Structure 1
Amino acid sequence: MTDRAAPGTTAGVVRVTVAQVAVTADHAANRQTAVDAFEVAVRAEADLLVLPEYASAYDPHGVGPEHAEPLDGPFVTLLRARSREHGIAVIAGVTLPGTDGVRAVNALVVVDGAGEIAGAYRKVHLYDAFGYRESDRLEPGPADAEPVTLQLGGLNFGVLTCYDLRFPESARRVVDAGADVLVYPAAWVAGPLKAEHWRTLLQARAIENTAVVLGVGMTGERVTGRTLLAGPDGVIGLELGDEQAFRTVEVDPAALAAVRRTNPSLANRRYTVVPSQA
């Protein structure tokens, strides 16, 4: 799993452009940021573009229904048009209207290279920790919803969001649904030890699931950035700082398969994951 490999070098390899960008409360400006990210992905001959959590709109003091847009709203419509135009799939954080009219939903939209919505993951674990209460503004997604995955080349990409990273059973459930690559768009809040937690947990999710793990962070006020790619053996193939940056990486299904042959821990396990009814 390497950074900036040359295009077209290996059959089945998937090229992923990561956009570690700042997001604001200005919806129009955020759409332009997405357009700029697509232009980078086109130049890199990428198969997939990943934007951070809350890519449609972000307020460092909290995001709620004032920033919600439906799946047929301006942001997702733009993503679909650009994906269709360039043949590049995209995963991006969006804020959707909630069901109670009071709160919104923190979600990821997954759009395939034909511009069709392949799925929308609604964040299960809300960030009620470290002095924050995401649940005051947002409602959680259903714990028993089917995992959202996207097939690209020889790999299956599964999605989770930010605080979900702290719950290993969530990752295992997505891997059980066939994911080879776990993608975590995030607005990882800065603070004591937070960057260390981010790095350690991404590596842990990779090693325990023998999966490629890609955490794509937002940069800017109160967040850490620090986009990271960990291979199924835990080896870090890409790690950014807190600056705005675009990078393109290659994910090789042959390398993933080799690690899983050497370390068959998924086959050796004796427990399953069942969603909580609480």
Structure 2
Amino acid sequence: MSTTLRISLAQVTSGTDPSENLKIIDTHAKAAKEAGSSIVVFPEAMMHCFGGPIRGVAEPVDGPWADAVRDTAKSIGITIVAGMFTPADEGRVANTLLVTGPGVEASYDKIHLFDAFGFAESDTVAPGTDPLTVDVDGVTVGFATCYDIRFPALFQKLGDLGAQLIVVPASWGSGPGKVEQWSLLARARALDSTAFVAACDQAEPADAQGTAPLGVGHSVVSSPTGEILGELDATPGLLTVDIETGLVDAVRQKLPVLANRRQF
């Protein structure tokens, strides 16, 4: 039986003030609810943007910042996915996705850290270890964060776990060819997992400087066959798309790449 899940991607720009970022979450969560969505996805680093100290803002998933997001999700009646930072070992933090809403409470720590293009995320961030799926209105949703999108095995594992939709909050680094890679990778991971992939990036900032990954925009939703169902440009916006799980079942029956693959 096919289930329809309406999802919104909030392509925004977070700043260095966690309380101001909460206001952004509240505004766009309300807009997503008005659009009829059951889930709204915000970018990675929504609590505090990259490019500045993050150790000092890290809080546990039961801390005040996360509780404020929970209150917003509860009052609006929508599931919110938002990137934050939580305390980890050796003075580092975890790059965490908070997933909270009606009947939903979970978190995912980014597994693959962005040690590339002159930026070393692992200097301040400890890697996660465990993939995550949750049920949102009868749809199995998997999670990945930014650089994770370059690693097919994670998406295949999420497919094995039954994910019909995989959301990917990001703060994608800019550079030559990076926008094209972002869109290509979202479509490729949808093909790898035979699932919908909804990749939500930070909007491109007006005054980007340094090597910190801040965002290029171009949030995108891909079908299990790699078809682009919706895409934004570099500027802030809200992308709303309906996910039809019957397509996942049909594709996995006709093209069972998860069942056919071999381990090497």
- Contact 1:150 / 1:156 at 8 angstroms: preserved in 2? yes
How far is the alpha carbon of 1:173 from its aligned partner? 1.4
Residue 93 (structure 1) aligned to one of 75, 83, 104: 83
State which drifts further: 12-21 or 73-82.
73-82
1:159 and 2:143 aligned? yes
Aligned CA RMSD, in angstroms, stands at 1.7
User: 2:122 corresponds to which residue?
Assistant: 135
Q: Deviations 1:49-93 (Å, cap 9, x if unpaired)? A: 10100111113x255312212212232112211222232111111
Q: Which residue number in structure 2 is paired with residue 79 of structure 1?
A: 69
Q: Which amino acid aligns with 1:86?
A: I
Separation in structure 1 between the aligned mates of residue 219 and residue 62 of structure 2, nearest angstrom? 29
**2:253, 2:135 → 1: CA distance?**
21
Residue identity opposite 1:112 in structure 2: G
What is the rounded CA distance, in whole Å, between the counterparts of 2:15 and 2:219 in structure 1? 19
Is the CA contact (8 Å cut-off) linking 1:213 and 1:229 kept in structure 2? yes
Between the two proteins, what is the percent identity of the paired residues?
Answer: 34
Q: In the alignment, does 2:112 pair up with 1:121?
A: no
Distance in 2, Cα, partners of 1:226 & 1:63: 26
Aligned to 2:160: 176
1:216 Cα offset (Å): 0.3
The answer as to whether partners of 1:162 and 1:188 remain within 8 angstroms in 2 is yes
What stretches of structure 1 of length at least 5 have no aligned partner? 1-9, 273-278
CA deviations on 1:137-157 (whole Å, 9 max, x unpaired) are 111113xx2x21121234210
Structure 1 equivalent of residue 94 of structure 2: 105
Q: Secondary structure at the match of 2:184?
A: helix
Between the two proteins, the alignment pairs up a number of residues equal to: 256
Match of 1:232 in 2: 224
**For 1:91, what is the secondary structure of its paired residue?**
strand
> What letter is aligned with 1:68?
A
Q: Which amino acid aligns with 2:217?
A: G
- The aligned runs of 1:248-263 (5 Å cut-off) are 248-263=240-255
SS of residue paired to 2:185: helix
Q: What 5-or-longer segments of structure 2 have no aligned partner? A: 209-213
- Shift in Å at residue 269 of structure 1? 1.9
Whether 1:44 aligns to 2:35 is yes
Q: Which amino acid aligns with 1:41?
A: A
Q: Per-residue deviation at 1:201?
A: 0.9
Q: Deviations over 1:106-156 (max 9, x none)?
A: 111111324x52x211111111001101111111113xx2x2112123421
Q: Check whether the contact 1:63–1:137 (CA below 8 A) recurs between aligned residues.
A: no
User: TM-score, structure 2 length as denominator?
Assistant: 0.92
Q: Which amino acid aligns with 1:271?
A: Q
Instruction: Judge conservation of contact 2:139–2:245 (CA < 8 Å) in 1.
Output: yes
**Equivalent residues of 2:5, 2:38 under 8 A apart:** yes
Whole-Å Cα distance in 2 between the matches of residues 163 and 194 of structure 1? 12
Cα distance in 2 between the residues matched to 1:120 and 1:48: 15
Once residues 185 and 234 of structure 2 are traced to their aligned partners in structure 1, the CA distance between those partners, rounded to angstroms, is: 18
Runs of 4+ in 1 over 6 A off after TM superposition: none
Cα deviation digits, residues 3-42 of structure 1 (max 9, x gap): xxxxxxx972001111000000011110100100111022
Question: What TM-score, normalized by structure 1, do the two folds share?
Answer: 0.87
Deviations 1:167-201 (A, max 9, x none): 11111112211211111100001111111111111
2:211 is aligned to none
